[in-house]
Structure 1
Amino acid sequence: MSISLDPAAVLWSTDAAQRAGRPLLVLLHGYGADERDLFGLIPYLPPEFAVAAVRAPLAPPFPAPGYSWYPIENLEDRDPAHTTAAAAGLVAWADDAASTHPAIGLLGFSQGAAVSLQAMRLEPQRFAFTVNLSGYATPGELPRDAELAEAKPPVFWGRGTADDVIPAFLVEHTTQWLPAHTELSGRVYPGLTHSVSEQELSDVRVFLDKRVAELG
């Protein structure tokens, strides 16, 4: 099962002629936001990337604004089906819209970060790296997890000590899961809530600059 992304609801950093042949960085917003939310990060990102900010496919329950990748009401539910459905939709969009790019990386916040990691688990060879901001790895096994663990793609995971949104069991699971399956660059930011700081963005830039160098 997958949930389709709206190709008309994608913000691109440049037009098609200027982005063809460049590595693509896909931005995935968090719960209750939209494709404009992370688009403001572009000045902090390496200019070598073409950037696409995609919109999540679901509308959260009223009165919450924006869009969501999957229902947030049952985070204690360890069934990965909802996250996997959203990730499958992202993979389908990437196969269609990002075919002219030599490499694809993902950068997600909160729900978007969870979907980014899940997409990498679905297609370990499709995505070059993931930036996980205030997110988590979804519990449960997927068929290609062993392949991912062998490939160990680079992942940046940043989170704050004052983040009270992500349940503790998900943080603990992610702490164990990421080093076993990825080449992890992790940083915990004292006092940071469920948000992104200037220091974190600086660390993300260092991580992404390394990816640019590796991609050539």
Structure 2
Amino acid sequence: MTLTIDPAVVRHAGSTTAGSPVLVLLHGYGSHEGDLLGLAPHLPADLRLVAPRGPLTGGPGFAWAPVTVPGRPDPAAVRDAADALLTWLDATVPAGTPVGLLGFSQGGLMVTQLLRTRPERFAAGVVLSGFALDTDEPGDADLAARAVPVLLGHGDADPVIPADATARTATWLAAHTVLEHHVYPALGHAIIPPELAHVASFLTRTLR
């Protein structure tokens, strides 16, 4: 399936200075493009924030891919969404601009997939309560060679993303990226202030 990102519903916030690093915010299943913009006050002020809407309807909002087995979506659907995001990104952000990715839940899946699809395009990634496909992807070796920094943050009481998917993802990221991994005791499927402090510090160090 050929998917497209609608530029008319992409939201923007943060820095308006030309050449500012770009942080792409990728919402979770059933959410929308405005959801993660609520994190803006907690993120470095010099970043340009860009939040696209998932190309599919899902739950009460939008999605990047259909939900099938939790933690194990159809790889073809995830690849289609990554291709759509890359086409939109190439038309939106000039080559040479530092680009980071931040995704929550299914948006975190898209962060990992974008890194695996075109690792040279991205300076850093943040995966919050997300996961990666349980497959080998063509860009995996290139990603490992580039040592892209990635922050993985999640709770140890997440009722949405299966623990085996989270553990699998942490192992995979440790082998293919420069991983910073934070586990938050008793946290469910959510984002908390200590996690945001870790994210802000990570982006300040990596997205320049």
TM over 0.5: yes
Partner of 2:188: 193
- State which of 28, 51, 57 in structure 2 corresponds to 1:59: 57
- Cα deviation per residue 1:179-212 (whole Å; 9 max; x = unaligned)? 0000000000001000000110011111011124
Partner of 1:158: 153
Residue type at the aligned position of 2:199: V
More strand by share: 2
- State which of 67, 70, 76 in structure 2 corresponds to 1:72: 67
Q: Which moved more, 1:203-212 or 1:190-199?
A: 203-212
Q: Take 1:187 and 1:48, find their aligned partners in 2: how far apart are those partners?
A: 24
Q: Take 2:75 and 2:160, find their aligned partners in 1: how far apart are those partners?
A: 18
Residue type at the aligned position of 1:51: L
Aligned length: 208
Partner of 1:174: 169
Q: Take 1:122 and 1:200, find their aligned partners in 2: how far apart are those partners?
A: 27
Q: Which moved more, 1:170-179 or 1:23-32?
A: 170-179
Q: What displacement does 1:21 show?
A: 1.0
- State which of 9, 24, 27 in structure 2 corresponds to 1:26: 24
Q: Take 2:9 and 2:96, find their aligned partners in 1: how far apart are those partners?
A: 19
Partner of 1:148: 143
2:40 is the alignment partner of 1:45: no
Partner of 2:4: 4
Contact kept in structure 2, 1:22 and 1:101, CA below 8 Å: no
Kindly report structure 1 stretches of 4+ aligned residues shifted beyond 2 Å.
73-79
Q: Take 2:108 and 2:7, find their aligned partners in 1: how far apart are those partners?
A: 20
Residue type at the aligned position of 1:22: S
- Cα deviation per residue 1:46-83 (whole Å; 9 max; x = unaligned)? 111111111111002xxx21101111133364642121
* Gap runs ≥5 in structure 1: none
Q: Which moved more, 1:167-176 or 1:28-37?
A: 167-176
Contact kept in structure 2, 1:27 and 1:52, CA below 8 Å: yes
SS for the counterpart of 2:35 is coil
Q: What displacement does 1:19 show?
A: 4.0
Q: Which moved more, 1:65-74 or 1:26-35?
A: 65-74
Q: TM-score, normalised by structure 2?
A: 0.94
Q: Take 1:112 and 1:126, find their aligned partners in 2: how far apart are those partners?
A: 17
Partner of 1:87: 82
Q: TM-score, normalised by structure 1?
A: 0.91
Residue type at the aligned position of 2:34: R
